[in-house]
Structure 1
Amino acid sequence: MGDRGPGPAVVWLVRHGESVGNLADARAHADGAGRLELDVRDPDVPLSDTGRSQAEALGRHLASLPADQRPTAVLTSPFARALSTAQLAVAGLDLPLRADERLRERDFGAFDGMTGAGIREQFPDEARRRDLLGKFYYRPPGGESWADVAQRIRSLLATEALRHDGDRLLVVAHQAVVMVFRYVLEGLTEQELLDVDAREQVANASLTRYEADDDGTLHLHSYNAVDHLVARSQDVTEEPDAAPTA
């Protein structure tokens, strides 16, 4: 076997735990509202109590791994919900943790805080343009498309490969970012990515794992795993006062 090429040996992708914004989004959709009820900017949206429990459950799972299988470094989005997830997940592991703005949530521009119903009501022309262009290439006014996020991820992978050569790297970010990582790392087409997105939503605090082969190419090992959260949910059924885990 030849020497492995430069880059991480393992990459875990984690979507942040459930946030107050996720709850507001669910309420808005259930009520048919056009806008989420939030009083903070998107970068400052915190985890919910359930989200904190999810991040702690993730941390227990990582700590339970054999020492030679645990993460050795952490990169995280600087947004509060992702940063808190990362900090809680590695609190007992004494790992270097850095925030990188290239992992931030996709910028929704003028649509920030709005539901699909609100967009169709207030921006009908843009809603039609989105339907025409599709989810991957459509860019909201003042915001980003998934293709824009892909440029960020390509930049991050290019600059971090040598810095994290041989590391088992934990990356904590957001749903669209996890999806675009798959697009970049697996060389998916637009339609293949959209098919994956349509089949299964990236769960809060889920784990997606890539392992490098001998030339350093990362290959998907598991996607959207939540076993560590299910185990936590079963644990707390005997503790009525504990926060539920989604």
Structure 2
Amino acid sequence: MVRILLIEDELDLGAEIERLLQREGYEIDRATDGDLGWAFLSSPDLIYDVAIIDWMLPGISGIDLCRRLRQQQQQLPVLMLTARNDIHDRVTGLDAGADDYLAKPFSTIELLARIRALSRRPAQFQSAQIKLGNFSLEVETHTLKHSKSAKISAVTLTRKEYQILECLMTNHGQIVPADRLRDRAWDLATDRASNVLPAQIRLLRKKLSQLPICLEIENIHGIGYRLNSPTSM
């Protein structure tokens, strides 16, 4: 199920959007100010597929929420809502890290279409590489590189290894449920046996260990996995 974080301080509008998205089958968390919104976004236990963020919020503004996300190298797709419709305001929002922009008032049909587009956009199409400190995961070559390595500076991953690591890197520091990793890497039910993911994680860890500084994949028993950043990357 697609999980959406809605950060909107207009109570009536926020409630209307929440009801609309729930009717469409989305799972919704809702915040009415920027501080609570950031608490949701920065929680290691919460993972979202799309964030809908109002520009003008009490506490941390929507623009600053976007900037914080991108400073932490999070690839979460962001749809910015705002009454500002000037071209310069749109550029400001996009430059801050928003992926899309919807001016109020808007039609529910357009809102749903934009959410569908963002929720099905894989993270690898948002950037040519995914970065985490001195590590970069190359989209085209499925190669993990370390920019300050004096020894082996890169390892090449299989498609499934890449898909798993891509999901963990874009949510680094957060627990990613095992079912979500299975959904990312396996399409057929016959491939989703309970022992397949742990076996693939073991192979991925072996490759990561070839780098002088290793990214640690932590097993959170009964829940999923978390990619922990080493103290020196």
Using the size of structure 1 for normalisation, the TM-score is: 0.27
Question: Which structure is higher in strand share?
Answer: 2
Structure with more contact order per residue of length (Cα contacts < 8 Å, sep ≥ 6): 1
Question: Which structure is higher in helix share?
Answer: 1
